[in-house]
Chain A
Amino acid sequence: MAVEQPLAGAGEQTRIHNIGYRTYDGPRLGRAYARRSLFSQSLRGAYGLGRSAKSKVLPMLLFGVMCAPAAIMVAVTVATKLKDLPMDYTRYAIVMQAVIGLYIASQGPQSVSRDLRFKTVPLYFSRPIERGDYVLAKYGAMASAMFVLTAAPLLVLYIGALLAKLDFSDQTEGFLQGLVSVALLSLLFAGIGLVISAVTPRRGFGIAAVIAVLTISYGAVSTLQAIAHMQGSDGAVGWLGLFSPITLIDGVQTAFLGATSSFPGGEGPSTGAGVVYLLVVLGLIAGSYGILMRRYRKVGL
């Protein structure tokens, strides 16, 4: 063994060795691992983690805005000893839809437009990872980020409700129904947001387009619903709800998840119509996925 003089002086301890090129013989974990890595990187990125301080501001702010009303409601409930929470779990996301819309509009383009704009996509596809892996990871990450955003305030409400010693089984049922509802909402909004963002490599256009699609469709549908309601054709109110993302979710949860409808007249779709709502939601989610897959077939290399 070549033993160098121990403690031969500071000068000799700080030698720089040029160790040359070292080959890598360790494990290569393959596609599934790469997909997981891309998922976690995208999910963290959706909250600005691992990115610049500036890009943390908006998602964190929206997250705070999303949770604040829940915290206030809990405080009021506990302080005034209400018998029930001031708002249903299922209603919360509908009321906060503007915040949710802003979030997907800001983070959807961030997640996919960057890779398209800076042409990073070919670097992914020159690796074991494939088109399906990329789309799945990005879609999954965006939907998960949305779920975190929409489920966190429900969790705040639920914990608050338990602290206020409200009825446990009632609250648990409402909470779980709320979670199913926001899970659907997350998938639907993430799909729509990503499809729109993936069409345009420009982030600004993406943001504007997502906001426009969400607000214009909701504005148009709710206006038409109000008109239909005033003219007494309540049947039309139910069907009109099929044409905007948030009213779709509203319809599904009214029919299946015990929610009270926010449609004019409070009359949501019946169970039969609810099936149509659910099919449309699932169709849109699958369609978004399909469109994303097609989109990335073209940008291969």
Chain B
Amino acid sequence: MISTESLSKRFPRVTALDRLSVDIGPGVTGLVGANGAGKSTLIKILLGLSPATEGRADVLGLDVATEGAAIRERVGYMPEHDCLPPDVSATEFVVHMARMSGLPPTAARERTADTLRHVGLYEERYRPIGGYSTGMKQRVKLAQALVHDPQLVFLDEPTNGLDPVGRDDMLGLIRRVHTDFGISVLVTSHLLGELERTCDHVVVIDGGKLLRSSSTTDFTQTTTTLAVEVTDTDEHPDGTRALRDALHARGVTTDAGGGLPGAGHTLLLTAEGEETYDLVRDLVADLGLGLVRMEQRRHHIAEVFRPDQTQQREGTDRRHQGTDSERKEAVHHGG
């Protein structure tokens, strides 16, 4: 779908992309990097809107330097920032954008109705966009990127500003864009955790350089961190401690979750696979505790890759620290 060859983009003071060579196939691909890693610059170049300083790139087999217009006819783009006028309805706006993509008036209206329905906007699509929630606005932005039935869409930080439920909805929708609509997706995020569940393939860039490009199964094996919270009972006045001791007895290291609100009541542990979940479940049941929650923690890309790169290369401890990026807490190594 996309291939770049030692693609570089230099601005007078910054090098946004540094000899990036990557091949991206069909399916859902995550493009992960911290802010300023060069994600948006890459998308701009791939849309044929900004010339590369050196190197070349192909999108759908078309050269970005010379066939930008043909590329833009076949791809969709959802920007990171707000881009919706508040005083028109979603329907009017998306119809207009469909026509800007070259769809005849009748087709533009039909495709708009279809697409808005697929992204989950129903009666509210006739109301002005100004009154929409963030989640609904994100859906409209997605709809305008899909309305002309592109072969490939670029989604720039589609989960930005969404609450956890909205985030999951959006990720599910992105998954469907590929499985149900047959459209390949390149989605950017600075959160690796949310992409590893949605994408078939993840490309990590940092400072304009390719850090890693691999299928997501590689990631999930090593990076899943579980957060477990249990209740206290009469038998075990401190249920968390009881569970921790039991886990230690089985050779599983845990982490108390440092400066978290409610620290000491949450256990963080690395899930090695299915058996870890079963083990936690069984231990909790044996102790007679109530399981309040057991959830996967999201990783912040900067924390996952920068400190652990060296560790992985040396083949040492491959355990990762789980952090919830929203809380930005520092978690110390347990065990």
* A residues with CB within 8 A of B: 20-24, 26-31, 33-34, 37-38, 41, 50-52, 55, 114-115, 118-120, 122-130, 300-301
Contacts and interface: CB of A to CB of B under 8 A. Distances in A.
The 10 closest A-B pairs by CB, nearest first: A126-B77, A24-B149, A28-B102, A37-B99, A29-B102, A21-B181, A118-B85, A119-B83, A128-B73, A34-B100
Contacts of B180: 20-21
B111 interface: yes
Interface centre among A23, A30, A120 (most CB of B within 10 A): A120
Interface stretch (B44-52, B274-282, B293-301, B315-323): B44-52
B241 interface: no
A122 B83 contact: yes
State which size class the interface on B falls in. Answer: 35 or more
A27 B104 contact: yes
Contacts of B100: 34, 37-38, 123-124, 127, 129
B16 to A, nearest CB: 13
A30 B73 contact: yes
Contact of B97 (A27, A28, A123): A123
Interface of B: 40, 44, 47, 49-50, 69, 72-73, 75-77, 79, 81-88, 92, 96-97, 99-104, 107, 111, 114, 118, 128, 144, 148-149, 180-182
A50 B88 CA distance: 9
A118 B82 contact: yes
A119 B128 CA distance: 17
A42 to B, nearest CB: 11
B84 A118 contact: yes
Given A24-B149, A28-B148, A128 B102 contact: yes
B102 A33 contact: yes
Given A21-B180, A120-B83, A126 B103 contact: no
B96 A41 contact: yes
A26 B107 contact: yes
B83 A30 contact: no
B47 A24 contact: no
8 contacts: A23-B181, A26-B103, A26-B107, A119-B83, A122-B79, A126-B72, A126-B76, A128-B73
A223 to B, nearest CB: 40
Contacts of A34: 99-102
A51 B84 CA distance: 15
A242 B77 CA distance: 46
A51 B102 contact: no
B9 to A, nearest CB: 13
B81 to A, nearest CB: 6
A28 B83 contact: no
Given A28-B73, A125-B49, A114 B85 contact: yes
B47 to A, nearest CB: 6
Given A118-B86, A127-B72, A29 B79 contact: no
A52 B87 contact: yes
Nearest to B89: A52
Contact of B144 (A38, A114, A123): A123
B103 A28 contact: yes
Nearest to A120: B83
B83 A123 contact: yes
A24 B73 CA distance: 13
Nearest to B41: A301
A114 B181 CA distance: 32
A153 B67 CA distance: 47
Nearest to A55: B87
A23 B182 contact: yes
Contacts of B107: 24, 26-27
Given A37-B99, A118-B84, A130 B69 contact: yes
Nearest to B40: A301
A31 B92 CA distance: 20
Contacts of B47: 126, 301
Given A118-B84, A120-B83, A126 B49 contact: yes
Contacts of B88: 51
A122 B100 CA distance: 12
Contacts of B77: 122-123, 126
Contact of B79 (A115, A129, A301): A301
A125 B44 CA distance: 10
Contacts of A128: 69, 72-73, 101-102
